[in-house]
Structure 1
Amino acid sequence: MKKLSAIAIGLTLALSGCSTMTPARYSVSVDNNLILKKYAGQTTRIISMDPPANYDSNCRLMGPIQASDGMTIPQFVQKAFNDELKFASIYSENGNSIAGALTKIQFSSASGLTSGWWDLGLTLKASNGKTISVENRYDFKSGFDAITACNQTAQALAPAVQDLIKKAISDPAFAELLQ
């Protein structure tokens, strides 16, 4: 009987390991598209996106938050930015090259008990030597229990990235990156 109990406890522990929370795929923003349309005739692309020095992807005791389609968060941001450029018809493999670096990736799934936030920082450097840096905090409702809160945190990544991109392309210095 003790052996059966030990096996049951062992199986329970093995099956209750951590989960990976993954957001939905990125979808382009109408607001970002309207901003990018003013750059019609110019072409660019994001050629790289470096990760920050440190990023803790663990959400409570549930497990890590990862981007969709097996991408890292920097790859997710790079693809999102290029998707926005494509949707605005200013993306080109032959256009001006912009290298990106995420300077900050932080999140909380338990701010004020049932709220959360993503803090994202981004530096963009164009092939012409011009650089801009932006940071953005995206607040959202997370939830009380860990499963809900961590899933909500993962789902909030895409709109957090939309807002980060909007902050970058709304910066007056963004136009200088495209010259």
Structure 2
Amino acid sequence: MKKTPIALLGVILAVSGCSTMTPARYSVSVDNNMALKSYQGSTMDIVSIGAPEKYDSSCRMMGPIQASDGQTIPQFVNKAFNDEFKFAGVYGDGGAKLTGRLDKIAFSSSAGLTNGWWDLALTLSSANGQSMSVENKYDFKSGFDAITACNQTAQALGPAVQDLIKKTVTDPRFKSLLR
């Protein structure tokens, strides 16, 4: 009889384990494409983006939020920038070499109970000595229960990165990185 409660406890623990929430792959933005068209004739490449000192990826005890394809969030952002550059025809090895650092990666899946946000801060530096920093907070509807809210939070990473890229490439300081 004593083995039954122990076995039942083991099954409950196995079933209630955490899940990893993963967003869809990044998709390029028409708005970002239009903004990047103004840089035609220039080429650019983000070589790498580093991680912040701290980032808590856990979501409501459901498990971590991770980027798609086994990437870290900085790698996801790096690839997203370069995908946008490629789509706009401004990506190239012979142009401006940019490096970056995500100064902040933060999210909430329970702001106002059923809303959420991503807060991403980025510093880009150019080989020409220029740098710039931007921060973007992206708000979205998450959900009440943990499963829905954490899945919605993971899916909101793509649009949050799209907005970060738009804020970056439409900032007048961005052009100084390309000289």
Please indicate the TM-score interval, normalised by the length of the shorter structure.
Answer: over 0.9
Matched, 1:91 2:91: yes
Counterpart residue number, 2:166: 166
The offset of 1:14, in angstroms, is 1.8
Alignment of 1:129-168 (within 5 A): 129-168=129-168
Letter matched to residue 68 of structure 2: S
The offset of 1:93, in angstroms, is 1.7
Counterpart residue number, 1:66: 66
The offset of 1:2, in angstroms, is 3.0
**Shift >2 Å, 4+ stretches:** none
- Give the alignment's Cα RMSD to 1 decimal: 0.7
What is the total number of aligned residue pairs between the two structures? 179
User: 2 CA distance for matches of 1:131 and 1:61?
Assistant: 37
The offset of 1:11, in angstroms, is 1.5
Q: What SS is found at the alignment partner of 1:106? A: strand
The offset of 1:15, in angstroms, is 2.5
What TM-score do you get using the length of structure 2 for normalisation?
0.98
Letter matched to residue 140 of structure 1: F
Counterpart residue number, 2:44: 44
Partner deviation per Cα, 1:64-110 (whole Å, 9 max, x = no partner): 00000000000000000000000000001222100011011000000
The offset of 1:53, in angstroms, is 1.0
User: 1 CA distance for matches of 2:23 and 2:41?
Assistant: 33
Letter matched to residue 42 of structure 1: S
User: 1 CA distance for matches of 2:49 and 2:125?
Assistant: 10
